[in-house]
Structure formats: structure tokens, C-alpha cells
Amino acid sequence: MKAFFIGASSDLGVHINGAHLGPKEILTTLKVPYQNFEQNNNYLKDLTNNKHKNEEEINKLNAQIYTYILKNIKKDKIPITIGGDHSIAIASALASASYYQDIGIVWVDAHGDYNTFKTTITGNIHGLPLASITNFEKELKPFTNTYINPKKTVIIGARALDKEELINLQKADVKVFTTKDVKTLGIEAIIQETLKIVGDKFHLSFDLDVIDPNQACGVSIPEENGLTVKEAEAINKALLKSQKVSAYDLVEYNPLKDRNEQTKKIALDLLKDVLEIIK
């Protein structure tokens, strides 16, 4: 098999408990071997106004994941990292960026994850990873000098952007396709444009909260008026079919919020497509 699996069992970047249970749920059902990473204090207990919540623990965890992926990634061995909250993608994206160099990134997410320590309202670090990966926020990656060019960065499915976060995105020149754009421009047009921006190789980071909570309630921070499962699956498939994906993340599955394993089933379907297409 071309893929190898990493469990990133972390809730350190979010104030809601549960996402750290996601990797085990998904990966044991998938019946694949995986290397799991966690920190002792998985759940963020700091509910103060601290803007750097769990930063040290998150850096420690990400350094481990980064090192492991970089050691095991090869042209024909694609890392698949299952979260956990989205802060773990700093490790996976920068590991694949470090291996391939000059890659792009596609961030499928209801949120921009483009806050900085200056602009964050909550101090929850899962709102910062894409800014960190593209070096708009210089912190959160003490384990590497690598970053991804923001001009080769595309967000798909955004519908909950903070005011200052939106300014950050415009300053950095990141391309954002909102949920509304997906519905009006159509998936084909968006994928075509995305592939032009990200270039020959790109990291694909898929946050389950891009899907409408009516169909996928098992996430920590649900946002109304999302993509349908069908749309999300079509975007996932089309991006994978380009055969340009360097590494893949599936994040923010929260079993404590799921109903009848609805969201887990969606996660497994998305991964089934990943494994079929990259085979």
C-alpha cells in the first residue's frame, strides 16, 4: 500500500473535548496499522483569555509528528494523518513541504484557520495553523524553517471567517472559495482554478466541519449552511484524482458530538476514496 497512517490524538488546540478520540475511532474501524501521537494533557483546560493556550504542548506534539512523517515519507509512500484538532496539520503539512519543497496546499474547511496570536479572539490554536504553515504567523513551527507559499494556498468551503482573519487572508494573498462560491461557481470550476494555483504537488488538509452539521454533527465547532456530503466527497475525489497530493489530513472528527456514527461513516467514506485513488 502507498499510504501510511498517523494518529494525532489532540484536543490541545480547541476548548471543546472529544477530537482527541477521533483517530482511534476511525483507524481501528479502518483496520490499518498506525503510529499514534498524543500529549498527556490532551484536553485544553485553560479557559482564560490566554492567547497562547497549550502552545508548548502543541509544539512538542507537532515536533514528534513532523519528525516521524519526514522519516517515513517517500515518493510512493503518502502520509495520512488523522486528527485531532486542526493544529496538528502544522506538523503534517510542513513535513510534506520539507520533503518535496515548493508545494501548494488546499485547506477544505468551514474556517480559515488564518488567525495569528495577535488577531485570535479565543486563543485556541486550531484557529491558527494555516497562518503558521504559510508563515503569516511566524510561531508554532520551532522544529522547521520550511513553510508553504501563501500564494500557492487555497481554502475551499469557508463560511466562518473572523473580521481580522479575513484581513490576514487578503494581506497574505490566499485564495478563498467560500461555501457560497462552491454552490454558485460549481465544483468543476473551483477545482480547475485550485489546481492552477497550487501547482505540481500539494498538501490536502480536510476538516470535516466543512460539511453541514445536519449531515455531519460530529465535529467540535460546527457551522451552519455547509457543504453537502455529496459536494464534499466530490471535491475530495477531484483533488485526489489530480494525483498531485503529497500528503493528506482528515481532522476534527469528534466522537462525543456524533450521532449514530453518522460523521464517522462520512470520514471513513472520504478515506476509502483516498485509498482507492492514490493506490
Q: Which residues bind Mn ion (CB under 5 A)?
A: 86, 109, 113, 207
Q: In this chain, which residue has its C-beta nearest to Mn ion?
A: 86
Least distance CB 29 / Mn ion (angstroms): 22
Residue with cell 471513513: 268
Residue number with CB closer to Mn ion (86 or 257): 86
Minimal distance, residue 253 CB to Mn ion, in Å = 12
Half-sphere exposure of 203 (CA within 13 A, CB side): 34
* Least distance in angstroms from the C-beta of 256 to Mn ion: 18
Whole-Å CA distances, 274 to 31, 44, 155:
15, 31, 19
**Nearest Cα residue to 215 out of 232, 197, 229, 204:** 229
In whole angstroms, what is the distance from residue 249 CA to residue 246 CA?
11
> Burial, 80: exposed, middle or buried (Cβ in 10 Å; 0-12, 13-18, 19+)?
buried
Nearer to Mn ion, 16 or 32 (CB): 16
Q: Can you tell me the distance from the alpha carbon of 15 to that of 12, in angstroms, rounded to the nearest whole number? A: 8
Cβ-based nearer residue to Mn ion, 57 or 109 = 109
CB-nearer residue toward Mn ion: 188 or 224: 224
CA 9, 230, 169, 124 torsion-angle sign: negative
Nearer to Mn ion, 182 or 243 (CB): 182
Smaller CB separation from Mn ion, 113 or 258: 113
CB of 215 to Mn ion, least distance (A): 17
The packing angle between helices 55-72 and 89-100, to 10°, is 40
Q: Which residue has the cell 485544553?
A: 44
In whole angstroms, the minimum distance from the beta carbon of 218 to Mn ion comes to: 14
Please tell me the distance from the alpha carbon of residue 151 to that of residue 148, in angstroms, as a whole number.
9
Paired with 36 in beta bridges are 7
CB of 31 to Mn ion, least distance (A): 27
Q: Which residues contact 46 (CB under 8 A, 6 or more apart)?
A: 53, 54, 123
43/72 with CB nearer Mn ion: 43
CB of 111 to Mn ion, least distance (A): 5
Distance between start and end Cα atoms, the chain: 7
Amino acid at 246: S
